[in-house]
Each structure stands twice: as structure tokens, then as C-alpha cells.
Structure 1
């Protein structure tokens, strides 16, 4: 008796052939395979139910280290927020197209656990009648934003790479990060940050950006796109149309960008143009107002003139557009959680990232399609882009990873050496008037390391004062660590002064010093007054030195994770040369309209 193939078999066969067989036969990596056949993709879509189509648009969080057996507390969180116990149930209920990993959701304990979670998620996606694998994503920008920590290889963030300024290094860093993510089953990275950070007061981008020069940012953005492509994973340029010139955080408010259209094209557009030219896989929207581009009062995520008129039509981008997280205040101020995802799709988005109430958002989109507010043809356009992306990354062929692959790729010696080598090139010497640095190699200096100990991203090390002190000690300069925090009071300052007695030098780590940072300023002033040479290290924004006078040397390292602390120790000890150059200008403290140190400033040892 002749049996008709099942619906799933038909879909699986079409999906598996969506990327050319000839590429596979030739051994071409999935990321470099020929573009998938759009007719086959459309054949898959034609057999999908409306609910399956809507589900493919959503990329969602889930709590737990396992797809089927999370800890009790994580299962309870899933029930409270999404009405399911685990990732497998979530995928089955909503036919999701993607999952995003967070350390705070306990998804990223260690590389082998991550690989197992990824495999469990893919099995869940393929176990309920759909042959369509998931995009598994995370924010592994490096530096200030890294969801996966050690033993994965960690690099400094965007502004540090901007200080290095070498596109080859930026590309190499992305290739290493992408290779390790791919080995753990993470196939979409929400990086690089393409924002041009021209506002020193920017509270949300800052050191995540490559810098303030649009052309330099464009070159480094394109380089990282190519590095991720070489690693075989999808990359995401963010946050369109540009989040670099704001003094407010879109997680909590709705920022307004006042650039004219000409200023936008000169400042904000070049990195996105470069990313598109490099073949960027996806672009993330920003929850910001840009009245010169759309005067409706809608944030860019919900703006048809911005997402369709500018990104699609003016810039010619036809790839995946993903929203920034839909739980952020910047996108929720004007409309309810039921309208936001609908309006984002109508504006031109394809993927809807992490809505606060998935059931509300999912049903709102389904209802909008059923009622005709959004046509099924419009949804199909997004599905074509999403499924083509999955096909290009080889996910229809094989979405699974192995423990052997983790062992071969994650945190291996060559990757760690690359990270150290590149990080050394990012450290910037801003001031060294008495040539106190570098410390002499043969004459040991007894040092005190004080300063801020900001919380590092989970698994990325710290505390920075202790890591820096140990690194200096290992390099022959015995160092005592004394954390003093970001707001030291009089008692803490007195403790630091007592510890400084008899020392040959003091290294003080400062963190985002402004006029309001009275404690950090007073600490540095008191330590300078002891007569012991003070080396100031800005461990996040490089602007701190403008507020601090009398230091024997000032350095910017743009990050406070272990890899950056070890690099600055090598520079202080003279084991590495300070070759970094400022990727942003440092304004004067007494007159912010004037520049203290321009873009490109950086001293060398003589």
C-alpha cells in the first residue's frame, strides 16, 4: 500500500533542501553556503498554520539551565510569567521562532550546560510537528555586556576595540566569540553595537560603542560582522537608527535624539550602511524618538517611516529586523503591551524580542492577522526573512552541537592568547607628566590598589581591585588590594590613607566620575596629597581624568573584567606598551564645550 508522506516529512524535506546540496557536498561551511531557494522557503510557509506563523516571529526568554528539567525556582518563574514550567512547554505552546539566553535567567552556567540546553531547545522545537529549528540568541557584546562568562573567552568591549582601532583585531575578536557561541548552540549574537557615542553623558551605550567617529565605528562594525560570519553565526547591528547621542536610558525612559536628517546621515547612518554592505544578518531597533525622521511621537521600533521608509527603502536592507526588548519602558509609554508588537510588525519589524507578557503579545498579533489589520502576506514576508536566515546558518541541516565541539572551541589556549594580545592594544595612556610609568622591571615597587569594584557581568571575574593587585604582584610589584567603592566616605578615605603609608605607588581605579562623584574625587585628592605617586585607571568611561588633578599618570582601559585588568597591569609594569588611542574626546570638567583630550590622543612610553 502506498502511504502519503506526512505533513512533517514534506516540510522537513523542503526545509533540508532550502540550502543548496551542492554547497554541502563541497564541504562549504553553512555560513558560506549559497543563498537558500526562496521558493522552497515559501513552500514551507504555505504549509504552516496561522498560529505557527505568529509564533515564529517571537524570540522569548525562559528560566532555567535545562529545556525540560529546570530548578524548582526557575519552573515557578516560568509559570508566573508565561504559564508553563520549562522551555519545551513554552515552545510547544507558542510555536516560538527563537529563545534568548540571559545569565539572570540561569541559562548560562557553563559551556557544557549551555550546549545541553541548546540541544534540548532544538529537540523541543522539532518534536511537535514543525521541522523548523530555533534561533538561539544572546547579548555577548563583551566588556560591560556579556551573558556567558569564563571559561568562555572574554574580550574587552566596543570602546576598547575602538581604542585599538584595528579592524583586523575587531574581526578576530568576533570570529573567536562567534566560534565559541556556535559551539554552545547559540546561533545569533546581538552584537556589534553600531551606535556612535558622541554624548559623554550617555548612560546606556557608552563603552559599548566603538567610539565617536562615524567612519571608525563603521569600519569596526563591518569588521565584526565579517568575523561573526566567518564563525558561522548570525550577527545583529544595533540600535537602529542610532542610540549614541542621548542622556537617557531607553530601559527606563523614552530618549529623544535631536539630530537633523543631515546630521543623522553624517553621524548615525554610516555604521549601519557599513553593516548592510558587509551582509549583516539582522538589525535591532532602538526605542528612541527621532523627530526629524518621524514626527509622529512613536519610537523608532514602532515607526514605519524609520523601519520601512529609511532602513528598508533608503538603505536597501532586506534582512531580518528585530526589535529591542519589548519590556523596556521606552517602547511601552505610549501604547499597551497588546498594541506594541502589532505596531512593530506594521512598522517593518520581523522578530519581536522578549515581550513582558508573551500570551498578551502572541494573541494580539494572532488577532491582528485574523482580523485583517495585518495581512497574512505581511507576516509571510517576515517569515521568509527569518527562515532564510535559519537556512543560511545551516540550522535546517543540523541544529545540534556536541560536547566534543565545546571542548575543541570554548576557552581554548589560542583563543585566550588572542584575547590577551588584543586587549593589550586597547589600554590608553592619557597622562604621564613625570614619566612615573612604566614601573622599572628590576626595582620592585610596593603598591596599593584602591578604587571602585563595580559588579562584573556574571562569570567574567572580579573584583577588579583584587584582580589588578594580583596581576601586578605576579609581574614583580607586590600590591595590596583595598576596595573603596564608587562613593567612599571619610572613614573609607582614611582607611586608604593609612594603607598608603610606606607604599611606593598607588593605583586607583575610578568609575564614571562626574561632578556628583564627590567621594571618588575626594579619595584621589587625599591620596595625591600624601606625596605617593598615584596612577589613575578609568575602568569604564574614559572621561574621569578631567575631574582628577595631580595624578602621576592617567590610563583608560574601558572595562573592568579580568582580561582588561590583566592588560592594564602589564602596561603599568612595562610588559606591554600603551598603544591605545582615545576613540572619543574627553571634555574639560570646567568647560564641557572644550576638549581636554581629542579623539586619537594617546601617549607612548619613551
Structure 2
């Protein structure tokens, strides 16, 4: 038996009451009968034991299996008092264990802001505590634990776990092998911590530079290139034993509205949807993706009823299930987002989502309201129990595929030998080196020379780390350049530098031989643009690094050298530093068009553009 090492130690050997089964041929399963563990064999293809488990569930237990909920705290049973207070305020329970006991939830999602992901061993302990709390209940079923570990700008688990470049950086690298390796390594680390469903990869094709919510989370603007990388990453994750999730169906790439705060409308015709949005989802399905996440947006060409796709039967059942032939798990995006709440109340949204064809209901804002609404819909006949059974069977099949019935717990030793180990970190660095894109290099300014440019000033935006464990970017860049033989000084100027901040940066540039400036979503009126212009006017060589969107370069005509890093995470900044120092060649190619700032229809740098030394 495995030693969990943290919460749940020893409970892999003698759970109090649970049923464990598997859908894998020839695998020994354990069932608890009268408190004594007995062995048995389950054969593939029948699904009889899964259906038998469903038949023994009460209606309340069935409803619970459909929900994936957040919960605050680093521990399943003993969260900090502040997290207890947050749980009571938002969910009506004190802890994850109480959440499971009350609602019998089938899944739990981890967030850094919910204090679920402090460090790998703590995460593993929380996972074990959650499984123990569920498996000790009557008809106990293992919990499918999930998170959003996209890498790049969205990462819930930080260092010392391995952090990779994000999707658009991978798109710039154009390597299916790298995408597959990312999924395989990241999946191994998540599984070692007890997380077996990752809400990644993003399958949206980002054809709108003004997209406020997808952007660099997408592999790019070329549907076929995105499709190839999505399929590769899906394969990598699932070979590691973690369920991948292609999102956000039917496609969130062409919008200028954030579905977290508004209700986007995609105006693509059906032909445009088939050509632009559908290919990555088709590729993900062909690659066997275990789950697909819905989008809270309207596509009138696919369903003109005015409902978000999450609540659209023509989209989820008619297109996803019937036309694309997908029979895996469909999970909603968070039900707390504005895009799904603008038309219906929180009591109607989960019911309508199930009627549309959804299986998992993710993170409703008021779980009591949502859970009771689904229960009442069945009791009133609006939903049938058979409809719930269809979704529960898909969910249980996925849990069986992921070995949750056989191996619900993880071990401390497994974390130590898997998470953030040297070979994984080295792989992330190698992948990052293939993504940095050189867009401007006047008079061959780059690479900088330690002889001619020994003293560097690093200034610019310092956005918060996506995982809370990296950065700030100016310091990371300065440290990396210093390790490469320069003397680099960091000075944060922020995303909206004031006139006084700009003056101090310009004064500091007088003591430097060259300036490296990190930019973050520059606009025509941004004071970041003024900062770069003022620094360039000093006569000192200036190298700009776009820390997020590569579109920044269109607003920086005065800069003699510009790189796109696609994110401000440490691994990408270290790679950019090696490019600046000439230790590696810039190999990345733009995965999106960059249009002129003064003429949005004219392409300044097309897909595939990228300079080398």
C-alpha cells in the first residue's frame, strides 16, 4: 500500500466504507464488504460495475457527482481560520471535507487564490484528504480534482513545480514535439500531486488582437497550426494519466469582450466557424481528449436563440455530440462568470446546462442554490434521473480511466521524485529557447556585447506572477543577464508609469550602456510608450521585450530592437535574456499577425515572421 505522506496517511490500506472499481481489463479492484477488503476483477467493455454503482446512488448523491466546486484552504479538514470564514461565507461549509459530506461533489477545482496550492507536498496532502473524505462516505466515490494549469500567464501551481511557456509561445516555437513534451511532463507533475484533470489546452484561434481574455493563452491565429499543437498537447497530458480539456467550445478567439465580465457575441458565419474555430476542436476529439469545456458566449450562426453556448442544446448536443461525434465529458466554464448569468438566474443555469448536454457543472457561485435547483428539476420532472445517469456514467468512466478507483491516493515520495526535478526544468528551458521571437533588430543591435554594453538598466512593467511564485520580471531579467556576464540593475516602472517615474528611469539610463525595457499591452495612449520613446531619445541602445501580447511592437516605432516573450514567467524571461546575450539564436516565429497601430487593416508583421542573428 502507498504511504500518502500527508493527510490520509495509512487510509489507502483500510478505508472505512467505500466501493472501488475499475473499467480496465484484468486489473484487480478492491471492494469493501463489512469493513474487510476483498479482491476482484473487473473486465473491460461492459460498464456493468459502473452502472451498478450508479444504481445504488441516491438522487442526492447523483446530483453531487455533477458538480465541480471550489473550496478554500490548504487542508481538507483543518484549513486556516481565514479560509474557514471564506468557506462559511461563500459555500456554507467549513472545509473541503464538509463540502463533500454535504453535497457529495464529484469534483473539486484548485486555485492559488483559494490557498489550495502552496507547495507540491501540501497539494498532495490536500488531495489525499479530499479522497479520504469522499471514500469514507457510504457509496464513496473518488473525487476528480482539477485545475487551470495552462502555463504561461495562467498557472495555479507555481514553483517548485515545473512551469512552461504558455500556448502562444509554443505556437511561436511551432513544435508539436515540444507541445507533447509539455503535456507529458506537466501531466506527470499534476498527477503526482493528485490533480488528474487539467483545464488545458486552449483550443481557441486568436484572430482578434483586441481579445481581452484569450490572447496569448491561444496557440495562434492559424487554425491548422493551432489544431496540430492542441492535438499534441492533449496526447502529452493523457499519456501521463491526466485528463486534458480542450476549451472553450465552440471557440472564444474572435471577441473583444471578456466572458468573465460580459456576454460576448461571435459573429462568424457557419462557414467561418467551420474554417476558423472548429479545426482545433476536431483535432482534440481525434486525439481522444477526455473533456471539452464550454464557452459562455453566443454564436448566432450556430444557435440564434440568444443563449450562451454553455446553455445551447443545438451547439453542445447538435454540433459537439452529434456532428463532431464527441462522447467524452463536457464541463462548463465557471458558472460564476457574467457571460452565463446575464440571461438566467443562478438557479436556472445549471439545469439548462444539463438539458443542453453538459456533464460537469463547474464552480457555481452559490452551490446550495445550484445543487437544489438540479435536485428540484429532477423531482419536478424537468430533468429525468436517466439524463443524470448519462452524465454520471461519463464522469465515472473518466475516473476509472484515470485509475482513481484503484489508486486514489498519492505519495510524498512520488512528489519528491517527480515535481520540479532537474530534467523537467531543463526541458522547460530548452522549449522556451525555441519560442523567443525577434521582431526588430536595427543595425544588428542584438545580441548585446559584454564588452560594449557591460552595464545594463532593466526597467518596465512588473505584472503579478500568474502563480504567485515567480518574478517580478525586471528582477528576473536583471538576475539572468547578470549571470550571463553583464552588470544589470532592475528598476520597476509599472504598467502606467507617471511622469516622475519616467524621469527617474531616464536619469538612471545615463549610467547604463544599454537599456532593456519590458512592456505590457502597450496602447497608443499608454505612458509605457512615452517611457520607451524617452529612453530611446537618450541615445542609449534600447531593447524592448513584449511581456505579454506581441502587438506591443506596433506602438513602439522608435525602439531599435524588440523581442516577443509572450509571457513574463521566469522560464520565458530567462530564455529572452539568453537571446539578448547571444547565448542562443532567436528561433520563434510569430503565430499571429501584428497589424499597424495607425492602420489596423494593414499587416506590419505577418504570421511566420521572425528574425535571426
TM range (shorter): over 0.9
Alpha-carbon deviation of 1:328?
0.3
Does 1:601 pair with 2:609?
yes
Alpha-carbon deviation of 1:193?
0.4
Residue in structure 2 matching 1:20, options 25, 39, 46: 25
Distance 1:379 1:46 in 2: 12
Alpha-carbon deviation of 1:39?
2.3
Does 1:556 pair with 2:556?
no
Deviations 1:297-325, CA, capped at 9 Å, x for gaps: 00000000000000001100000000000
TM-score normalised per structure 2: 0.94
Does 1:96 pair with 2:99?
no
Partner in structure 1 of residue 232 of structure 2:
223
Secondary structure of the equivalent of 2:244? Answer: strand
Deviations 1:467-496, CA, capped at 9 Å, x for gaps: 101110110111111111111121111101
Partner in structure 2 of residue 42 of structure 1:
51
Alpha-carbon deviation of 1:441?
5.3
Partner in structure 2 of residue 406 of structure 1:
415
Partner in structure 2 of residue 525 of structure 1:
533
CA contact (8 A) 1:137 1:189 kept: yes
Deviations 1:43-80, CA, capped at 9 Å, x for gaps: 11111111110000000000000000000110111111
Partner in structure 1 of residue 574 of structure 2:
566
Are residues 441 and 492 of structure 1, via their aligned partners in 2, closer, same or farther at CA, if it must alter by over 3 Å? closer
Deviations 1:256-304, CA, capped at 9 Å, x for gaps: 0000000000000000000000000000000001011000000000000
Deviations 1:413-451, CA, capped at 9 Å, x for gaps: 000000000001110000102101012355552111111
Are residues 36 and 156 of structure 1, via their aligned partners in 2, closer, same or farther at CA, if it must alter by over 3 Å? farther
Residue in structure 2 matching 1:368, options 377, 381, 384: 377
Partner in structure 1 of residue 139 of structure 2:
130
Distance 1:35 1:297 in 2: 42
Partner in structure 1 of residue 544 of structure 2:
536
CA contact (8 A) 2:75 2:129 kept: yes
Partner in structure 2 of residue 328 of structure 1:
337
CA contact (8 A) 2:72 2:84 kept: yes
Partner in structure 2 of residue 144 of structure 1:
153
Distance 2:524 2:165 in 1: 27
Partner in structure 2 of residue 274 of structure 1:
283
Does 1:76 pair with 2:85?
yes
Distance 1:441 1:504 in 2: 10
Residue in structure 2 matching 1:244, options 245, 250, 253: 253
Deviations 1:161-210, CA, capped at 9 Å, x for gaps: 00001000011011111000000000100000000000000000000000
Distance 2:273 2:428 in 1: 34
CA contact (8 A) 1:35 1:392 kept: no
Partner in structure 2 of residue 514 of structure 1:
523
Alpha-carbon deviation of 1:504?
1.4
Gaps of 5+ in 2: 1-14, 30-41
Alpha-carbon deviation of 1:156?
1.1
Residue in structure 2 matching 1:576, options 561, 574, 584: 584
Secondary structure of the equivalent of 1:321? Answer: strand
Does 1:179 pair with 2:188?
yes
Partner in structure 2 of residue 396 of structure 1:
405
Does 1:545 pair with 2:553?
yes
Alpha-carbon deviation of 1:373?
0.4
Partner in structure 2 of residue 198 of structure 1:
207
Residue in structure 2 matching 1:476, options 474, 477, 485: 485
Are residues 150 and 382 of structure 1, via their aligned partners in 2, closer, same or farther at CA, if it must alter by over 3 Å? same
Alpha-carbon deviation of 1:564?
1.1
Does 1:439 pair with 2:444?
no
Alpha-carbon deviation of 1:22?
5.1
Deviations 1:84-140, CA, capped at 9 Å, x for gaps: 110001101101000000000000000000000000000001011123101000000
Are residues 367 and 504 of structure 1, via their aligned partners in 2, closer, same or farther at CA, if it must alter by over 3 Å? same
Partner in structure 2 of residue 66 of structure 1:
75
Secondary structure of the equivalent of 1:293? Answer: coil
After TM superposition, where is structure 1 displaced by more than 4 Å over at least 4 residues in a row?
A: 8-11, 33-36, 441-444
Secondary structure of the equivalent of 1:272? Answer: helix
Are residues 222 and 162 of structure 1, via their aligned partners in 2, closer, same or farther at CA, if it must alter by over 3 Å? same
Distance 1:471 1:81 in 2: 42
Gaps of 5+ in 1: 1-7, 25-32
Distance 1:509 1:293 in 2: 41
Secondary structure of the equivalent of 1:283? Answer: strand
Distance 1:55 1:197 in 2: 35
Partner in structure 2 of residue 499 of structure 1:
508
Name the Cα RMSD after superposition.
Answer: 1.5
Residue in structure 2 matching 1:459, options 468, 492, 498: 468
Partner in structure 2 of residue 209 of structure 1:
218
> How many residues align structurally?
587
Partner in structure 2 of residue 587 of structure 1:
595
Secondary structure of the equivalent of 2:300? Answer: coil
Partner in structure 2 of residue 298 of structure 1:
307
Alpha-carbon deviation of 1:20?
1.7
Distance 2:440 2:505 in 1: 23
Alpha-carbon deviation of 1:503?
1.7
